[in-house]
Chain A
Amino acid sequence: MTYRFTWNILWSGQTAGWLLQGVITTLEISAIAWLLALALGLLSGALRTAPALPLRWIGAAYVEFFRNVPLLVWMFFWYFAVPPLLPQVLQDWLLEHGAEFWAGVVALGVYHGARFSEVIRSGIQAIPKTQFEAALSTGLTMVQTYRLIIIPVALRLIVPPATNETLNLLKNSSVALTIGVAELTFQTRQIETYTAKAFEALAAGTMIYLVLCLTVALLMSQIERRTAIPGMIARGTGES
């Protein structure tokens, strides 16, 4: 009556190939969505700290709109509601080239972009106001100040919370299975369908997500160490 474990189903037959395919799709969708999220986050995070009020409004509107609607709804929105609004030619092209994948990328990108935005805003606001003033007084324009002084420092400050967001994005990519993207969670379900081995498939999925996330976390901490400006940001070693 107890469940019999058959771990070798994970590397026999097509299963290993499916898992690999799932990992690749998960990494692809996450990587592209991450770039989109970072770009949107940087832009709107910077806008939210801009001196002009309308710019701050635009940033705030984007953040509040996109982070306060569930990711699942965004998936359905970009997959079901947006394509019919596009010109026919573009629609046909999309349908033949993985519309579900791109809808997933955009859904993840704009949702996490809104969340990244807040992380970046907090990074910018952690920089003393005197830095802005000092930069402006050297003759830099506002845009130059942001591009050359503020953003580079803010990016270094936000590595730990950005790691958090990155890991969330990676794991949230599993929501894309609701619109038919064959990522890692999808593949573990597929294995369950073909072999009726639910526990083995789930355990494999769990371990793979764990390894992926640990790798990302390790990578980010490397980046944090490599890019630190000596003497500028206190490192967590006790001295300050």
Chain B
Amino acid sequence: MIRARCFSVWVISILLASVGSTSAQPTLEKIDKSGVLIIGTRTGSPPFAYVNKNNEWVGFSIELVEKAVVSALTKKLNKQIRLEKKESAPQTRIPLLTSNAVDLIAETMTDTQSRRDQVDFSLTFFVTGAQFLVKKGTPIKNIQSVAGKRIAAQQGSTNAKIIRERVPTAKLLEFPDQPAAFQALAQGQVQAYTNDGVQLAGLRAKAPRPDEWSVVGEFFSYEPYGMALRKNDSDFRQVVNVGLMDAVSSGLYFQLYDKWFGVKGEVPYPLSAETKRFLEMQVVPK
């Protein structure tokens, strides 16, 4: 009994040591010293962060960091900053950040209050909401009509949480990634797949026959995407935010938006006047 307890204490102390030993060095100093900004991002979330046909790791979130954040860092530190990308997933992104493995999470992470207990967020850089992807002609129209139906969701997403709370009779199946969830929908294992509207639009655009699918329903959640950074690191956060604000006020943001989400973009997803206004209102005077 005592030996067992000693063992568990030992395991926990190793776990604690591995996370507790993170140095309290501010991120700006770290970047100044190394000359590198390390971001955690996705490989399979088009068009925010994915590997394209030419095997390049690109996307809207990545380009926003490259063009807006890195240039703000370069200006602030007065030296050339290199960008390094690491793969992150919903389950690993907070640990990656708190263990100093990456400095910034730039992908499709929704800013939430519970996440703000662990990490800080930049200004919101994209706004979407949860909808459903269904085979054309399915009776599912909105969140009320999924009662009693089999619904796929992405594990670790806020949408699954909302469905479980608001429509407990829906049979929810959670998959770790988009391809598996879409496969389940294509095979008829589920009748609808719920995720952020823009991600569903991306999935539909990439499907072999996009016309067979439709994205339906009003937004039943509010998903403001932000870039996550370590807590209490306001100098670095300020540089990131200045970069984003400059991008919006200079029009760079809207150029990038058009490139990725415009009519000819990877995933056509028009910017509503409301969202545009919201993004502009986030910019505070110089």
Which residues of A are interface residues toward B (Cβ below 8 A)?
A: 1-5, 76, 79-80, 83-84, 95, 99-100, 177-180, 182, 186, 189-190, 192-199, 202-203, 206-207, 210
Contact = CB atoms under 8 A, between A and B. Distances in A.
A82 to B, nearest CB: 11
B194 to A, nearest CB: 13
B94 A193 contact: no
B161 A203 contact: no
B15 A3 contact: no
25 contacts: A1-B24, A2-B19, A2-B98, A3-B19, A4-B118, A76-B183, A99-B189, A177-B155, A177-B176, A178-B180, A179-B180, A186-B155, A189-B155, A190-B155, A190-B156, A195-B114, A196-B112, A196-B114, A199-B15, A199-B95, A203-B15, A206-B11, A206-B15, A207-B8, A210-B11
A79 B189 contact: yes
Q: Name B's interface SS.
A: mixed
Given A197-B118, A198-B92, 18 more contacts: A2-B22, A5-B16, A79-B189, A80-B187, A84-B188, A95-B150, A95-B188, A177-B155, A178-B175, A178-B176, A180-B175, A180-B180, A182-B174, A194-B114, A194-B161, A198-B95, A199-B95, A207-B11
B21 to A, nearest CB: 9
B2 interface: no
Output the residue of B22, B188, B189 with the most chain A CB within 10 A: B189
Interface in B151-201: 152, 155-158, 160-161, 173-176, 180, 183-184, 187-189
Contacts of A4: 118
Nearest to B26: A1
A5 B26 CA distance: 20
Contacts of A5: 16
Contact of A198 (B16, B91, B155): B91
Contacts of A203: 12, 15
A192 B91 contact: yes
Interface stretch (B57-65, B130-138, B225-233, B252-260): B225-233
A186 B98 contact: no
Interface residues of B, number: 44
Contact of A1 (B90, B160, B233): B233
A207 B4 CA distance: 12
A3 B189 contact: no
Contact of B115 (A2, A100, A196): A196
Ordered nearest first, which 5 A-B pairs have the shortest CB separation? A180-B173, A3-B98, A193-B156, A196-B118, A196-B115
A203 B268 CA distance: 42
A93 B232 CA distance: 53
Nearest to B95: A198
B274 interface: no
Contacts of B184: 80, 180
A81 to B, nearest CB: 9
A192 B156 contact: yes
Given A180-B184, A203-B12, A3 B118 contact: yes
B56 interface: no
B20 interface: yes
A100 B233 CA distance: 44
Contacts of A195: 114
Contacts of A198: 91-92, 94-95
B230 A84 contact: no
B117 interface: yes
A206 to B, nearest CB: 7
A4 B19 CA distance: 10
Nearest to A92: B188
A100 B11 contact: no
Given A2-B20, A3-B98, A179-B180, A83 B187 contact: yes
A93 to B, nearest CB: 13
Contacts of B22: 1-3
